[in-house]
Amino acid sequence: MNLETRLQVIEGRILEACERSNRPRQSVMLLAVSKTKLASDILALAKLGQHAFGENYLQEAIEKITHLADSPECPSLTWHFIGPIQSNKTRPIAEYFDWVHSVDRLKIAQRLSDQRPRSKSPLNIFIQVNTSAEASKSGVAPDEALELANNLRNLPNVKLRGFMTIPSTGNQTEQLAKEFEICRQLLRQASKLDSDINMLSMGMSNDLDLAIEHGSTCIRVGTALFGERQ
Ligand SMILES: *Cc1c(COP(=O)(O)O)cnc(C)c1O
């Protein structure tokens, strides 16, 4: 399958999941996860109308972001950082990205806010929640997520938009649904603090349909769009 066909297949899955859950198509953002993929693949997808891209590895991402920003044929893109964040890497993240999905500590959010260039609008952030309670996973524990949300609200140059999760792998539908619902409940609570806290970053190539049925507003799709990663 080529890129255009894959994009159409995903679009069909999004539409069906939206229909099943009585949601408008515009309520779901497709984030194309382009880690390990070439700038030329990103450009090809951008020309098909896909403008939001997610990256995990900072050095690789910055090379692609600057290359495409200099390319006259590339439309303007929005960049989402979705990988684990080391505190000594926050400055380039705050400078190059528009969204960050993987904030799980106040210290990281403070650094992002301090280092966000004043010429840019506040950085949109998600709190990553460890919904599967696996020790190896990053993310804040669900019972600490609302406190973190509340503390983040005082930071001037980041804007909390919602919650993100990477669910456990190889699991049954019921277990995945349970993990998605943890984030959905957190959003119900946090949205009372601020109506701009209204997003859920959940769902990847294999489970985007289920995630949409459980309220996802941003699906992060790599393999199903670009093919297997090397
Ligand atoms: C790689 C990655 C994805 C994309 O996963 P696919 O299964 O390839 O769609 C989504 N979210 C995060 C955080 C990732 O690291």
C-beta 205 within 6 A of ligand 1: yes
Ligand 1 atom at shortest distance from the alpha carbon of 56: 15
Nearest-Å Rg of the Cα atoms of the chain is 17
Ligand 1 atom at shortest distance from the alpha carbon of 35: 1
Is residue 169's pLDDT more than 90? Answer: no
Q: Which residues contact 154 (CB under 8 A, 6 or more apart)?
A: none
Q: What confidence tens digit (pLDDT) does each residue in 174-190 have? A: 999 999 999 999 999 99
pLDDT > 90 in the chain, percent: 93
* pLDDT value for 135: 76
The mean pLDDT of 88-103, rounded to a whole number, is 98
C-beta 167 within 6 A of ligand 1: no
Residue 53 and residue 56: Cα distance in Å, rounded? 10
C-beta 204 within 6 A of ligand 1: yes
Q: How close is the Cα of 118 to the center of ligand 1, in Å?
A: 30
User: What does the block give as tokens for 85?
Assistant: 């964040």
What's the pTM value of the predicted model, to 2 decimals?
Answer: 0.97
C-beta 208 within 6 A of ligand 1: no
Label residue 17 by pLDDT band (50, 70, 90).
very high
From the centroid of its chain, how far is CA 58? Answer: 15
C-beta 37 within 6 A of ligand 1: no
Is residue 170's pLDDT more than 80? Answer: no
The mean pLDDT of 104-130, rounded to a whole number, is 98
Q: What confidence tens digit (pLDDT) does each residue in 185-215 have? A: 999 999 999 999 999 999 999 999 999 999 9
